Amino acid sequence: MTNDGPPSSAGYSGTERAYWRNLVRGRPDVADIVTPGPGQESVWDYPRPPALQTVEARLYVGYAGVALADTTRGLRVIETSSPPVYYFPARDVRTEFLTQMIHSTVCEWKGVATYWTVSIRGRRQEAVSWSYGAPDAGYERLKGFFAFYPTLVDGCYVGSERVAPQPGDYYGGWVTSAIVGPFKGAPGSERW
């Protein structure tokens, strides 16, 4: 794992964070919200602010024929309207294939996110993963964990189920048969 520079939250003030934390969020029409079946969860029952949960299922990310991340010690963040985002402890990630980018973003709840580029067997993908080096209060357990975008790797799995990516390419949620939506990220869902 190499470091090309420190993350930065330049230009993102406490006032802006407060704005995003307190923004009144809309909901899709009630008729559009899918009723969960047995063993399913609705993302509309997830909390805001987001909650952090331990995951007992095996989580797996593959890239270029390599198990880039593989754990049974994962975490997930659940938040109203979005599929869960899964996090892997660094000890279960092949960090030797990751290079830290200068690019960073700020989550109003979790803090400054650092992004990582993967390079394996002649293949390279920027911003494939992100992590929180110093997560904000309430999300400290995320320190030392990595999340991955399903659209930028060869496959992500929860147990034996291959996940679908959250719509919209901005968010990194993992869609499985265990959750129902509609999901934030689709056109028209920007204010959910």
Q: Tens digit of pLDDT for each residue in 135-172? A: 999 999 999 999 999 999 999 999 999 999 999 877 89
- Domain assignment present for residue 54? The answer is yes
pTM here?
A: 0.89
pLDDT at residue 114 greater than cutoff 80: yes
CATH of the domain at 16: 2.170.150.40
- Domain assignment present for residue 10? The answer is yes
Q: How many domains does the chain have?
A: 1
Which DSSP category does 14 fall into? Answer: H
- Domain assignment present for residue 185? The answer is no
Q: What's the whole-number mean pLDDT along residues 34-47? A: 95
- Domain assignment present for residue 186? The answer is no
Domain that holds residue 57: 2-180
Q: What is the pLDDT of residue 31?
A: 62
Q: What's the whole-number mean pLDDT along residues 31-54? A: 93
Q: What's the whole-number mean pLDDT along residues 61-78? A: 98
- Domain assignment present for residue 75? The answer is yes
- Domain assignment present for residue 125? The answer is yes
Q: What's the whole-number mean pLDDT along residues 98-114? A: 94
Q: For the range 74-79, what are the long-range contacts, defined as Cβ-Cβ under 8 Å and sequence gap of 24 or more?
A: 75/141, 75/142, 75/145, 76/52, 77/50, 77/51, 77/52, 77/53, 77/110, 77/139, 77/142, 78/43, 78/46, 78/47, 78/50, 78/51, 78/53, 79/46, 79/47, 79/48, 79/49, 79/50, 79/51
- Domain assignment present for residue 188? The answer is no
Q: What's the whole-number mean pLDDT along residues 59-87? A: 97
Q: What's the whole-number mean pLDDT along residues 47-57? A: 96
- Mean pLDDT rounded to a whole number for the chain: 90
- Domain assignment present for residue 167? The answer is yes
